[in-house]
Structure 1
Amino acid sequence: MRTYSACFLLLGLVACTAATTGVRERTEQTRAAEPLTFIQDDYERALAEAKAKGVPLFVHALASGCVTCRLMKAHVLSSPSLGRHADRFVWLEVTTDLSQNAAFLGKYPIESSPTLYVLDPREEKALLRFHDTLDEAELEQLLDDGERAYKGSATGLEALLAQGDALYAQNRVVEAAKVLSEVLATAPADWSHRGRVVLTLLGALAETYDAPGMKACATKALEVLPGTPRSLAWTHGARRGLTCALSIFPNEPEATGLEVLQGALEEKLIEAMSLPTVELTADDRSRLIQIQIWAREAAKDEPGSRKALSEWMTYLEAEAAKAPTPSARALLDSHRSHVAIRLKTPERAIPALMQSEKEFPRDSTAPLRLAQLYQAQGRLEDAIAATDRALVVAQGPRRVAVMGLRALIFKERNDTATASRTLRDALAYAESLPDVQRPMCSVSSLKRELAKLEAPPQVAPSKPLQVAPPK
């Protein structure tokens, strides 16, 4: 009797397990066809949910005017195929301009956008940080690395990587660079995570923000790229390495041999733009072209720079023409306005920006860029009106940028009093922002411009009266 009872219990357990498994499989299949759900701008809620569920917290930090962030969100993070990872993390999106996110930024500084974080909610500790775009496969690798670090289950090479990732995530960049260099030296040549680790290492070297760090970043890029699989991460590594080389001033001691280094890295950048196995978004390609133009300018190749600018504009116009949605087309607006101004043909970008402003009235990007285009045309009243519209919706660092531009337009209109007042308002607003959201570079520029505007006029020294000698 007991045997039959045990059998019935066993059958019941098997049936129950089978039923549960079936529900789980159906749930996973359903989630695999749905995009991830991100909590919006509420770190405390996301933190509490992650603690309750016993999972790490994934954060996408973006600036409101960041084109690359929007493309990352639209093309990767919104992919329905990522739904199968929904239960592995709690998902949070943080817009860095918003005042309610100042506390988050105080804990986890953002060096550039977009930035991805994996956080341990138990200790509010950063486990992994990554800033750039990546494709779905690279994102899934990053999720694996972050989850493994959270569980403390890494061994060997993976444990060493977790150590380097944590140091970088916590802004201990010098220590991180040493550990990540060891990771790459230890890893097998065909290691699938090599591209992501190369980018993290280059970021750690560059974030010393000095010439030795930039030289180390550029040199390391040239060293490790040949042994790195060609991928989206590889293209970003080529761009980042050349950017580091171009950031060194010619009068620095590190400038020795710089021309050769820049030339070698520019060759890598050109290769990055023509890799048949890597699909680049228009934004990714635009950023590569932008750095190539910077390299041509550094080489004093004016014809080459002008040619690249012209080709860049043609490319952007073609991409905009075939964009599948107004949103996809509008994401190219910042690039188009920048190139149009550089080419001294602002009229080529104005119609597209006007259309975007109509379609996205709550976005400050279009009126801000229109103000710049109108200023380039000498249409100063139209430029001021465009800044009026931008200020209705702009906040945080973006609002400081709009006010600074507005002051320059008033200065160009020879309205020094209004320009001065606008600069003072911009500085007052910037000072009202939390420290972590205050754009210090912009503040310094505004102060310099205000000092020039309010400096007393220089009076030329009078010449002594020349008295003709008596005849």
Structure 2
Amino acid sequence: MRIHAACLLLLGLVACTAANTNTPVSTDATHAGAPLPFIEDDYARALAEAKAKGIPLFVDVWAPWCHTCRSMKAYVLSDKSLARHAGRYVWLEVNTDLTQNAAFQEKFPIEFWPTLYVIDPREEKPLLRFAGSATVAQLVKLFEDGERAYKGGITGAEALLARGDALYGEGRSAEAVETLTEALAEAPADWSRRGRAVESLMTAMYGAMQVEPCAKKALELLPGTPRSLSWANASMMGLMCALSIPDQAASKELRVALEARVVEAMGAPIIEMSGDDRSGLYEMRVGARELEKDEAGVKALAGEWLAFLEAEAAKAPNPDARSVFDSHRMLAAMKLGTPERAVPALEQSEKDLPQDYNPPARLATLYRLLGRLDDALAANDRALARVKGSRRINVLSNRVDIHVARKDIAGATKTVEDAVAYAKTLPASQVSPRMMKGLEKKLAGLQAEAQPAPK
């Protein structure tokens, strides 16, 4: 699992998979030859099939802007070895950009993208909720854990882990924290699921916004957790919690200790992880250096990060897989102070993936930073022609910034008003309150700027 700031629904830079439309593509065409027979964006059909077959429902909740979702699709869910598990579940993928999925999101709200659910179709209750990415091996263990929770009959730490998973799946994060803590206390030292339980505990603590206890708990549990991807993820989640503590002066010792654990996770012996996962560790380290106002450290890390991403993209087997790294290449280049370095990759992605709104949306931001304002507006036009659903608000928000850079306050104001009006047409479960506050703040600032100066 990997969770970091870019996995949250923020205004701007992140992205995830190829084409996005507001109508589902034929499942048979999309998944022909795929190892797992996912149903696309039809919860009612998937639920009915699961009830009829008497097996649980496995759900991949993703979004086209989420690079980790794209990484999962390109490098994990496409793995042919998963085909032998096809009969264990009914498989559903839910694109949160689509308004038709609002009812699912209202019933099963999420905080991070991607989120994997195992749902009991008998009661429509989540048995397991796993946030972030997973390796093929981790995914298979999740299949096992979901089945065991569905069938019941487990005891001890295993039962507590299943209960903690279910509580987190229901959005009862604080109760999940208590139960998962109990599971780790009861389990033997060599428990095979210790790593995942630690990961799940860190995620639940963050979900409950117990950020300082989360950071302290990470430092407490990491020494007794086997070195693995789960260890790396727990260290990163601990640092994420530490960076979220309001009193940054008092929490510096925690940040330093957890940043050291993240550095350790990236070192020898090498922990097997995807390029996207390793990129997330770089991002968290850059965030820590920024908080310390270490400009030289930020630049050095950003340069290393960008070189790593360029090498990973060069190894990608196809344009979809290569574009996994686009948003982080853009972010690393911006942190380095060389946004132009990411432009060729995004221009190539737009050529290779002509229906994807993400490349032109990102190019619009880069062109704006480079002072190429006409190009920025044209790229934003292309993105708006392709994007639908809730993500359209982000593209409109970025258009506001372009108008401001062009000193077109009237155009910027109208665009904010258009974005707010459009947001009101969407289901409430698909509109981020944080984004709406951001739009309201932009509108207030623009209206103030438009007021004539007092004589």
Q: Is the shorter-chain TM-score for this pair beyond 0.5, marking a shared fold?
A: yes
Question: Quick one: which of 361, 370, 381 aligns to 2:363?
Answer: 370
Alpha-carbon separation, structure 2, partners of 1:419 and 1:242: 37
Q: Which amino acid aligns with 1:110?
A: I
In the alignment, is the contact (CA less than 8 A) between 1:134 and 1:233 conserved in 2? no
Q: Which amino acid aligns with 1:237?
A: A
Q: Which amino acid aligns with 2:330?
A: S
Alpha-carbon separation, structure 2, partners of 1:156 and 1:330: 44
- 2:191 maps to which residue? 191
Unaligned runs of 5+ in 2: 1-32
Alpha-carbon offset, residue 153 of structure 1:
2.1
In the alignment, is the contact (CA less than 8 A) between 2:361 and 2:379 conserved in 1? yes
Alpha-carbon offset, residue 343 of structure 1:
2.2
Q: Which amino acid aligns with 1:347?
A: E
**Could you tell me the TM-score, scaled by structure 2's length?**
0.90
- 1:28 maps to which residue? none
Runs of 4+ displaced beyond 4 Å: none
In the alignment, is the contact (CA less than 8 A) between 1:39 and 1:92 conserved in 2? yes
Alpha-carbon offset, residue 167 of structure 1:
0.9
Alpha-carbon offset, residue 249 of structure 1:
2.3
Matching of residue 231 in structure 1 with residue 228 in structure 2: yes
Question: Quick one: which of 403, 407, 410 aligns to 1:410?
Answer: 403
Alpha-carbon separation, structure 2, partners of 1:342 and 1:397: 27
RMSD, matched Cα: 1.5
Unaligned runs of 5+ in 1: 1-32, 463-471
> Which of these two proteins has the greater Rg computed from alpha carbons?
1
Alpha-carbon separation, structure 2, partners of 1:312 and 1:326: 21
Greater CA drift, 198-207 or 316-325 = 316-325
In the alignment, is the contact (CA less than 8 A) between 2:135 and 2:273 conserved in 1? no
Q: Which amino acid aligns with 2:378?
A: A
Q: Which amino acid aligns with 1:240?
A: M
Matching of residue 119 in structure 1 with residue 119 in structure 2: yes
Q: How does 1:387-406 map to 2 (within 5 A)?
A: 387-406=380-399
Greater CA drift, 335-344 or 56-65 = 335-344
Alpha-carbon offset, residue 323 of structure 1:
2.4
- 1:281 maps to which residue? 274
In the alignment, is the contact (CA less than 8 A) between 2:156 and 2:187 conserved in 1? no
- 2:69 maps to which residue? 69
Alpha-carbon separation, structure 2, partners of 1:429 and 1:368: 18
Report the secondary structure of 2:424's partner residue. Answer: helix
Alpha-carbon offset, residue 308 of structure 1:
0.5
Report the secondary structure of 1:123's partner residue. Answer: coil
Question: Quick one: which of 437, 451, 454 aligns to 1:457?
Answer: 451
In the alignment, is the contact (CA less than 8 A) between 1:231 and 1:277 conserved in 2? no
Q: How does 1:46-57 map to 2 (within 5 A)?
A: 46-57=46-57
- 1:105 maps to which residue? 105
In the alignment, is the contact (CA less than 8 A) between 1:62 and 1:115 conserved in 2? yes
Q: Deviations over 1:344-386 (max 9, x none)?
A: 2222111111111011011111001100110011111100100
In the alignment, is the contact (CA less than 8 A) between 1:115 and 1:129 conserved in 2? yes
Alpha-carbon offset, residue 119 of structure 1:
0.2
Report the secondary structure of 2:97's partner residue. Answer: coil
Alpha-carbon separation, structure 1, partners of 2:452 and 2:278: 48
In the alignment, is the contact (CA less than 8 A) between 1:430 and 1:439 conserved in 2? no
Alpha-carbon offset, residue 208 of structure 1:
2.0
Alpha-carbon offset, residue 78 of structure 1:
1.8
In the alignment, is the contact (CA less than 8 A) between 2:329 and 2:342 conserved in 1? yes
Alpha-carbon separation, structure 2, partners of 1:446 and 1:415: 17
In the alignment, is the contact (CA less than 8 A) between 1:34 and 1:81 conserved in 2? no
Alpha-carbon offset, residue 142 of structure 1:
1.3
In the alignment, is the contact (CA less than 8 A) between 1:404 and 1:423 conserved in 2? yes
User: Cα distance 1:185–1:458, how it changes in 2: closer, same or farther (>3 A)?
Assistant: farther
Alpha-carbon separation, structure 1, partners of 2:452 and 2:247: 33
Q: Which amino acid aligns with 2:92?
A: L
Question: Quick one: which of 247, 259, 282 aligns to 2:244?
Answer: 247
Q: Deviations over 1:398-431 (max 9, x none)?
A: 2111000101111111111111111000111111
Q: Deviations over 1:71-95 (max 9, x none)?
A: 1122222211111211111010111
In the alignment, is the contact (CA less than 8 A) between 1:357 and 1:363 conserved in 2? yes
Q: Deviations over 1:25-76 (max 9, x none)?
A: xxxxxxxx96111001100000000000000000000011111011112222
Q: Which amino acid aligns with 1:90?
A: V
Q: Which amino acid aligns with 2:217?
A: K
Matching of residue 385 in structure 1 with residue 378 in structure 2: yes
**Could you tell me the TM-score, scaled by structure 1's length?**
0.87
Matching of residue 135 in structure 1 with residue 128 in structure 2: no
Alpha-carbon offset, residue 223 of structure 1:
0.9
Percent identical pairs in the alignment equals 55
- 2:308 maps to which residue? 315
Q: Deviations over 1:297-335 (max 9, x none)?
A: 222222111111111112222222232222222211111
Q: Which amino acid aligns with 1:41?
A: D
Alpha-carbon separation, structure 1, partners of 2:253 and 2:453: 48
In the alignment, is the contact (CA less than 8 A) between 2:74 and 2:320 conserved in 1? no
Q: Deviations over 1:423-466 (max 9, x none)?
A: 00011111111111002211111111111111263645x7xxxx
Question: Quick one: which of 273, 280, 300 aligns to 2:293?
Answer: 300
User: Cα distance 1:191–1:406, how it changes in 2: closer, same or farther (>3 A)?
Assistant: same
Q: Which amino acid aligns with 2:165?
A: D
Alpha-carbon offset, residue 186 of structure 1:
1.1
Q: Which amino acid aligns with 2:318?
A: T
In the alignment, is the contact (CA less than 8 A) between 1:214 and 1:248 conserved in 2? yes
Alpha-carbon separation, structure 2, partners of 1:337 and 1:225: 32
Alpha-carbon separation, structure 1, partners of 2:50 and 2:445: 51
